Structure 1
Amino acid sequence: MNIRIFILLAIISITGLSCQKQLDLYPHSAASSTNLSAKDVELFLNGVYNKVQNAPGRESYIFSDLIGGNLITARGTGGPIQLINSLLRPEQAMISTSWNGYYNALYQVNVLLESASSMEASSRKDEILGAAHFFRGYIYYNLVSRWGGVPVLQKNTTENIARNSEAEVWAFIESELNLAINQAPNYSNYYYVSKDAAKALMARVKLAQGKMPEAAALAEQLITGSNFKLDSFEKIFRNQQNTEEIFAFKNLTAESTITISTLFYTYAHPVKGSYAYAPANDVMQLFEDGDKRKAMSIDVYGSDNVINKYPSGQSGTDPIIVTRLAEMYLISAEAQGITGLGRLNDLRNTRGLPSISPVGDAAYLNAVLLERRRELLAEGFRWYDLVRLGKAKTDLGISDAQLKLPIPEKELVLNNLLEPNPGYGN
């Protein structure tokens, strides 16, 4: 769906979670946001959770691993660079699906913001607005970290819109997350948007921009607060109640199209799958002896290497973690430089590894990056980590153009104000 041709609300026959309670399946459609009552706004918020979760497609959650060297084609003979080159093309379906999906979700978020703004003043109104601003910041983080400058739509429109600069997009994300921090509900459950979820995403945003003191301060607020503590991988990645997740999509089987696990298991595996992607060879050597993450992250079934973080296969779906405390430890460790070694070792010790003592800033950054790769494998971080740290070209062998995703080919045709990213032609 092109960003300039949104006219009517799509019918939302979906389930999800509101900020206060789980709602029943409730179809809802409308031609104008002004027609939504306060009750409708609550139901629409429920739909927005689902829309933001589902619209970008399942590969959007692992795309940074697909083009970041963590994954290879399971039954192919090529390595990571072959997969990267096959995916980073303007006509590639995954590129257009994620672009269209993020803007499709944005349309619904904008409708929610317009509708909620007309409600009578109340604490609940503020909470709904806070959740909506969080989702808008989250959507634009995913857009800017992939494509750079993109059109910023604060209101839905049928007009062609040119790209904002990358700096303008980052500034918009920060403004949205500041609103979310102020207005979203206090933390109650990691399947609901909260002030803490907004702080965690803001820490990620600050790190991406090199705003290190601010990134570290936000991460430390969550580390030292009372709501979260590091927990075991067995709980985190086997859908058990845990103290580490800050925000995640519940991803219920009945209302989800996000079946990530089917991509990683073979049909011969007990849970079955299409086995589209396998961990790269160096990923299979990534984990040290004693690392408690290993069994939950990778496995060998028969002779096939598999990613093991999403265990449902064809039998169901798995929660999609957006932010968790381990990332905050890694953000604090990176943002503080070598003085943050204690946070890096805290995480390592919790995962069963001994403390380390890197010598020099370069060695320390490499140690943090290695720990990020282990901790966040198949969670959608690797390519952008390498890009933002200036290591993608040397570590992956990619070109200057491949430091950004191509604007989808169809978007360039439909919106003559969009300019392609350099290196991808017209």
Structure 2
Amino acid sequence: MSEEEENGVDKTDEEEEKGITMVDVLNEEEERELDAAAVLGGTDDSSCTYDMGYVKRQPLYACVTCCPPDSGRLAGICLGCSYHCHEDHELVELYTKRHFRCDCGNSKFPNNSCKLLKEKLPENPENEYNQNFKGAYCTCHRPYPDPEDPLDDEMIQCCICEDWYHGRHQGGQVPSGEDYAEMVCQDCLKKHQILAHYFGLAVTVVKSEETKESLNVSVELENLQKENITNNGQMQPEEKEAKSSNDADVKSECKGNNSSKTGCKLEGLIKQNLPEGAIFFPENWRQQLCTCDNCKNKYKDEGFIFLLDEEDTVSSYEERGKTQDPSRKASTQRELEALSSLDRVTRTEMVHEYNTLSSSLRDYLRKFAENKKVVRDEDIKEFFSQLVANKKQRPSPRVQQFCK
């Protein structure tokens, strides 16, 4: 039995209509809600997150109106402040950033106070900023979306510096999005040489820029022994046949050659020569990082101790957002039950009206996106007022069906 039949919806009648069915509408709406919840992570849009201190991860925005790129003032604001304090300003969406405290209304905003919280320190010294706060991304330092870029290239975020990069500017072949969980950009690899020890965990290794030949060499760290690694970092045949570590049990104990001495996973392993480009890691690769005291101190000194925090990952953040509202599925089920009680003509009219609304709203919002304007409550009210006015000027689909 199909999903539509299980929910009491007449699939035969629905299939007769061109375009999408109302079940499709409800399913698409639920998917959009899940995507929005994943990005926002359950963040409250009615309050400022400043009082929460340095939030582990949250959606952030940069206000170009208050802090122009040439002002020398880099600042980030939370979701609530983007709605209530900068509603008519030009904003840059930064997606999510880790360990950040909202800057809205502090000394970086001399002409714009925070409407949600008045008492704030002049600065947040633990905040870290990069070129994204000026609307620039990647090694090409271009905006996104880039109106002058003719290529449709996926942007990928580095899990360490949190900048976004074009795949083609990372010097290698980008694996399928389903095959990797996180990326470390080429600049971070050069900066943090200790990560070269974990090159064998990578999902894809590009052997040469000319051939773009790639090898799947995801293996457990304990297989990366000195005798199996050549001087140029290429894997021996027996390692190429190793089972992928994507679904392997994570080993909690250190198992380097000399682990009995210090408990460090890296002892006895050769730091491999890295190719030019980023490294793409599978799910749970962080759990295979060495956690001995010596390595932890190195992570702290180099500023990426957060890699040992399982809740730091974007995927963990998104999953928390998706499960924030357990009533969502119940709501969709009630909508499907209500739909099943309608007759075929009514359902047809609903599909027609939905398609009209969807098309009109996309065209209306596109203007705001092109001009980099925030959509206000007044704009939405104006849109629906005009939609009602237009509807009154045309006959309904039911009347047209019986006209001769």
**TM-score surpassing 0.5?**
no
Normalised by the length of structure 1, the TM-score is: 0.22
Greater relative CO (CA pairs within 8 A, separation 6+): 1
Q: Higher helix proportion, which one? A: 1
